[in-house]
Structure 1
Amino acid sequence: MGFENDSYEKVKVFRRFFNKNYPKIKNFSLKILKVEEDAEDVTQDIFIKYWERPDLWYGKESIDNLLFIIARNVIFNFLKRKSIFDNQLIELSDDSLGIQVSDWISPDDELQAEETRLLIQMTLEHMPEKRRHVFLMHKMEGLSAVQIAEKLDISVRTVEHHIYRAMVELKKVLFLLFFSHFV
């Protein structure tokens, strides 16, 4: 890139890229994470990764799809580290977050988001009826395991097992989908 001997030029070019794109990525992170400090941390991690790879940002003044793909991956890794990934899988759809996909994401990314929604829907449809019903009562209606157990006249342990198995199935499918795009 020609930066080996001119670190001032590297800093100058990166600062322009950073100033133009940082607010968009932080806003994107905040919409998903919902906590200002977490969004700040994740966004900083994203730009540190970019700083280390000038070939990804040199000569680019505006945001590109790769930056959002990296942001999404860093956010998912952050959620996993905080052990809340299990509780957030379904809520991460752009509809529930209020994200306007067209503001930030290319048609290819919109297609991938639609594929993800369809894959989640198909996975839910192929679950045993009771598991799907329990899972949707928990996630969509916000009912606790105790409330579901009372409504369905089954044990709390059975409800917890259905929720756990549903999450395992969804995580497997989403893991394969997300990481198949990077192989």
Structure 2
Amino acid sequence: MDEISSLLGQVSLGDREAFSRLYQQTSPKLYSILLRILRNRPEAEDALQEVFVKIWQRADRFRPNEGRGGVWLAAIARNQAIDLMRARKPTSSAIDEAYDLASPNPGPEEAAVNQSEGGRIERCMKALESDKAEAVKRAYVEGLSYQELAEFYNIPINTMRTWLRRSLLKLRECLGQ
């Protein structure tokens, strides 16, 4: 029987001195197992404490006549690390993060609707006189004011308001068809 198995046998009887010697001999190896699996030093240190609590509580389950105490301890450490890995909240991968980001582009359905609406608006705009269609675009797309448009077309401001009002009524009628 190896020394670790002998110490485990003594620990199963509640021998604190044997437990202390077992810790001194095996903790570096068990810590390295935990660190390799968990890849996080503080988490591995916490897990090592949990492993030794389990060893203290379960030492009576070890069969010293099998003489493989180191393997038994390594299995406890490995299982503890795996349990901790499973308990972690899953971190999102780059694919998950990309999936959650909303695309600024319209989806296929919205693009089709926009394209058909855009086509309808374009067709209705062509039905207007060219200068009035241009005034509508400058007012409602570019954001020019009545005053700026009136100055651009060299007409009174009230005439510009009338142009835009009548043009919008014609557009509404055309789009309603």
**TM-score, structure 2 length as denominator?**
0.41
For the pair shown, which has the larger CA radius of gyration, 1 or 2? 2
**TM-score, structure 1 length as denominator?**
0.39
